[in-house]
Chain A
């Protein structure tokens, strides 16, 4: 089966600019996750969707970050405006069920964002 697709793979922007990332999960997967992975740290969950509803977004900086999954399939994550500290790899993952405890997450290759 095809894996989780993300684009772009790399993005360089200047601070205060806007940027958007796209994720297409594995076909049929109900749960989609966005993570931020800063160099030298583990992935931090930003938002978790089940179908097109938000399960958890407690760590999403809502003043500048937004995410949507309108049709319950692919998703976009937007940053507006970007700050230097947003430089990171943004990972998308999906899992087949309801985001329950036994769910295995499948990760995409990530988008490396550099904010200058």
Chain B
């Protein structure tokens, strides 16, 4: 069965510093990986996805993620954090089940960027 782990409940970083939010996955087939962000009282918003190709994926709001097959990881990164990046971040994987690609989400990581 597919699964996603986000080992950190919370990540704290100072504004202007680089940030990393970690995600590891387990799938039976090829990994199809996603990052979403959730602001308070709002629905999840898509940031980026890895399907195939270049291991470094660029997404919205200056975020990027690095796919590492040997470490089964898909960490989210940003070179310079903003206070407005403070939110809840979810990693997700889609795997084939019953003929369709079914999504599974991690438990989320709260990112807090300090001024």
**Chain A residues packing against B (C-beta within 8 Å):** 3-4, 33, 35, 40-45, 48, 50, 55-56, 58, 91, 93, 99-110
Give Cα A56–Cα B95 distance, bound, in whole angstroms. 12
CB-CB < 8 A to A50: which residues of B?
100
Residues in B61-105 with C-beta less than 8 Å from chain A: 90, 92, 94, 97-98, 100-105
Contacts A42-B92, A108-B43 aside, 19 further interface pairs with beta carbons under 8 A come to A33-B103, A41-B108, A42-B90, A42-B105, A43-B105, A44-B105, A45-B104, A55-B100, A56-B97, A56-B98, A56-B102, A91-B43, A100-B101, A102-B51, A105-B44, A107-B36, A107-B43, A109-B42, A110-B43
CB-CB < 8 A to A45: which residues of B?
102-104
A106 touching B90, Cβ below 8 Å? no
Majority secondary structure of chain A interface residues (helix, strand, loop or mixed) = loop
CB-CB < 8 A to A101: which residues of B?
32, 51, 94, 101
A48 touching B100, Cβ below 8 Å? yes
Give Cα A106–Cα B106 distance, bound, in whole angstroms. 17
Given contacts A42-B90, A104-B46, A109-B43, contact A99 B108 (CB under 8 A): no
A48 touching B102, Cβ below 8 Å? yes
Give Cα A40–Cα B106 distance, bound, in whole angstroms. 11
CB-CB < 8 A to A102: which residues of B?
32, 49, 51
Can you spell out 29 A-B residue pairs with CB atoms less than 8 angstroms apart?
Answer: A3-B43, A4-B43, A33-B103, A35-B105, A40-B107, A40-B108, A41-B108, A42-B107, A42-B108, A45-B104, A50-B100, A55-B98, A56-B97, A56-B102, A58-B97, A58-B98, A93-B43, A93-B44, A99-B100, A101-B51, A102-B51, A104-B49, A105-B44, A106-B46, A107-B36, A107-B44, A108-B43, A109-B41, A109-B43
